[in-house]
Amino acid sequence: MNHEEKLEKRTIKDSVFTDLFSDKKYLLQLYRSLHPEDLEATEDDLTTITLKNVLTNQIYNDLGFAKGDRLIILLECQSKWTGNIILRILLYIAETYQRYFKERECDLYDTKRIPIPKPEFYMLYVGDRKDRSKHMRLSEEFFNGETASLEMTVNILYGENENDILGQYIAFTRIYAEQKRIYGPKDIRKAILETIRICKDRNLLVEYLKSKEKEVVSIMITLFDEEEIQRTFIARERREAADEERQNGIRSLITAYKKLNGTISDAIESVITDYQISEQEARTLVEKYW
């Protein structure tokens, strides 16, 4: 394994979602759940399109594949609903078409029309459905429903049928979410193992989980650790931003007293009142910024 391959292995984190559907056997099941009318499709008809570092978060819950003249983009949205998923798909399809043209040496300035695969966009939503729609449109999410030159429609999949692969995957994610609540972050391995056990008992993704149990545990622990790191980083960034804002406010208050020929005592008293800090801390800050 060369340096680049080692680096990729360290920085790219597949989810169970992408690992599951990297297997053509399960990818075909997914395709048939989207197009049950196509009874003749085989594993050899499907071409996986892998885009790395396009959607920036380094945890890959995104899948692109082609079948004939269809180009299917499927994203997992975790459990939080967001219209920004459309923008992610927009970036994904733009990058996919760019590579498609480059690989075929297409001349976009030629007068001859270039054939391109027809795109289909899907979002797999693993949260509660509630009253959510079957579709999400760019114009409705970002342009208040007004007609725009650019339009995109994303089909929302809720996986409500546990007899197909998408329904089984969504059931898997919900079971895992429940086990995390039960065992908490301190025993995440137990939560993962219980998730796998329950899914096997309920006949969910059984073949996949039996054949790749160790890999699934490793993937889920890695992703949990990554999510914890991200949450810690975001929390620290917010604290630092709040501290900086607070310091700037105190500095401005002290500066204002100085410009208005106020006294140091008045400035100290004002800082204590406005920012609920001790007299010693307020005195130190006034002396610092006076």
Cα separation, 29 vs 281, whole angstroms: 65
Strand order in the sheet with 153-157: 46-49, 62-67, 70-76, 118-124, 153-157, 135-137
| % of the chain surpassing 90 pLDDT | 38
pLDDT (average), residues 68-93 = 86
Burial class (CB in 10 A: 0-12, 13-18, 19+), 272: middle
Top-confidence range, 93-97, 123-127, 198-202? 198-202
Number of Cβ within a 10 Å radius of residue 169? 25
pLDDT reported for residue 14: 65
Give the global pTM.
0.69
Alpha-helical runs (H) found in the chain? 3-11, 16-21, 24-34, 85-103, 138-142, 165-183, 188-201, 206-211, 213-259, 264-275, 279-289
Number of Cβ within a 10 Å radius of residue 216? 22
pLDDT reported for residue 237: 64
Q: Phi first, then psi: what are they for 89, rounded to 5°?
A: -65, -35
Query: Which residues are bridge partners to 121 per DSSP?
Result: 73
Cα separation, 115 vs 59, whole angstroms: 32
Cα separation, 173 vs 17, whole angstroms: 10
Lowest-pLDDT range of 38-52, 123-137, 224-238: 224-238
* Domain ranges for the chain: 1-158, 249-289
Torsion of CA 137, 142, 147, 151, to 10 degrees: -50
pLDDT reported for residue 75: 85
Burial class (CB in 10 A: 0-12, 13-18, 19+), 2: exposed
Q: Phi first, then psi: what are they for 46, rounded to 5°?
A: -100, 135
- Using 50, 70 and 90 to split pLDDT, how confident is the model at 24? very high
- Using 50, 70 and 90 to split pLDDT, how confident is the model at 57? very low
Cα separation, 201 vs 159, whole angstroms: 19
Average predicted confidence (pLDDT) for the chain: 83
Radius of gyration of the chain, Cα coordinates, nearest whole angstrom: 26
Q: How many CA atoms lie within 13 A of 208 on its CB side?
A: 24
pLDDT reported for residue 35: 94
- Using 50, 70 and 90 to split pLDDT, how confident is the model at 226? low
pLDDT reported for residue 58: 45
